């Protein structure tokens, strides 16, 4: 059973979409939330990511997905006049679960977590990355459907609890997305929304999710970079494509 998502003012959008399987509804819900933003905030002004900080996260990564890289680059080029910070092609990712700061999670505990993850009973699946929407601090692809992503988040959270790692936000507050550009200043949202809306005619890119990565994440200037700790394959699924 897929866990329930709750209304959470700290998440964006605060209210989850009503149907986790309805691609059109998810896309419209995500866009409506972005279109209602009045001002955009500087993504990098958020506290907690000092130059020396390192943290473990579960992520989906896409360095071997040329179709997604090409679509992201096209969107970035079309929005270049906004002077936002583009996510590099080898930095495209979906953040899943926070595991904890490196200083809080010793190597033995990470190995225990990896051992549990190697027995993760979760099928591979397919996503669609829809251009384009955003939040108060970034521009991003909307992902659909959400059901498998929410289920995977819950499964990773469960093994994290079993391993005793600090963890992060609960699954109830999870709002999956794939960032393309980070906003780097305070500004009115209206002109940004107007430019982004022109890209909504682009077709979605299909993504095959066959593994999940445990990474050691850091911030370098105006991008997030990481070192791979372990890649966990998901089970081969016989489910039909979207």
Q: What CATH number does the domain containing 193 carry?
A: 3.90.1140.10
Find, among 69, 79, 97, 44, the residue nearest to 213 by Cα: 97
Phi, psi of 133 (to 5 degrees): -145, -155
Judged on CB neighbours under 10 Å (0-12, 13-18, 19+), 179 is buried
pLDDT at position 241: 41
Q: What is the pLDDT of residue 54?
A: 95
Give pLDDT tens digits for 212-227. Answer: 999 999 999 899 999 9
pLDDT band of 3, cuts 50, 70, 90: confident
pLDDT at 96 over 50: yes
Determine, yes or no, domain membership for 126. Answer: yes
Write out the residue range of the structural domain in which residue 218 sits: 23-44+55-233
CB atoms within 10 A of CB 183: 23
103-118 confidence digits (pLDDT tens): 999 999 999 999 999 9
pTM above 0.85, yes or no: yes
pLDDT one-digit tens code per residue, 11-45: 999 999 999 999 999 999 999 999 999 999 999 98
Q: Which pLDDT band, with edges at 50, 70 and 90, does 2 fall under?
A: confident
| pLDDT computed for residue 236 by the predictor | 83
Residue 63: inside a domain: yes
CA–CA distances in Å: residue 91 to residues 20, 98, 157, 183: 26, 17, 23, 16
What are the pLDDT digits (tens) for 138-196?
A: 999 999 999 999 999 999 999 999 999 999 999 999 999 999 999 999 999 999 999 99
Whether residue 15 is contained in a domain is answered as no
> Which pLDDT belongs to residue 240?
39
Is residue 238's pLDDT more than 80? no
Q: For residue 7, is it within any domain?
A: no
User: Is 73 contained in some domain?
Assistant: yes
Confidence class of residue 46 from pLDDT cuts 50, 70 and 90? Answer: confident
Distance CA 113, CA 101 (A): 14
Whether residue 8 is contained in a domain is answered as no
Residue 60 lies in a domain: yes
Residues with Cβ within 8 Å of 183's Cβ and at least 6 positions away in sequence, in order, are 40, 41, 42, 43, 84, 85, 136, 137, 138, 139, 192
Q: How many domains does the chain have?
A: 1
> Is residue 158 one of the residues assigned to a domain?
yes
Confidence of residue 134 (pLDDT cuts 50, 70, 90): very high
Q: What φ, ψ does residue 222 adopt, rounded to 5°?
A: -110, 45
């Amino acid at each position: 059973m897929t866990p329930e998502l709750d209304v959470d003012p700290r998440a964006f959008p605060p209210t989850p979409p009503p149907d986790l399987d309805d691609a059109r509804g998810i896309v419209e819900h995500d866009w409506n939330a972005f279109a209602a933003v009045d001002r955009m905030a500087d993504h990098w002004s958020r506290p907690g990511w000092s130059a020396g900080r390192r943290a473990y996260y579960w992520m989906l990564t896409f360095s071997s997905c040329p179709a997604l890289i090409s679509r992201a680059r096209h969107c970035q080029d079309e929005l270049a006049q906004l002077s936002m910070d583009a996510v590099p092609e080898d930095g495209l990712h979906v953040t899943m679960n926070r595991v904890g700061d490196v200083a809080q999670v010793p190597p033995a505990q990470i190995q225990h977590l990896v051992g549990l993850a190697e027995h993760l009973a979760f099928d591979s699946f397919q996503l669609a990355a829809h251009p384009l929407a955003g939040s108060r601090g970034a521009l991003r692809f909307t992902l659909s459907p959400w059901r498998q992503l929410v289920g995977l988040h819950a499964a990773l959270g469960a093994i994290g609890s079993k391993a005793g790692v600090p963890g992060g936000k609960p699954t109830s507050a999870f709002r999956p997305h794939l960032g393309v550009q980070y906003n780097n200043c305070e500004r009115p949202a209206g002109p940004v929304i107007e430019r982004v809306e022109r890209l909504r005619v682009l077709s979605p890119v299909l993504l095959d999710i066959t593994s999940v990565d445990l990474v050691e994440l850091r911030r370098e200037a105006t991008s997030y970079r990481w070192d791979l700790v372990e890649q966990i394959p998901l089970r081969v699924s016989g489910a039909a494509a979207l």
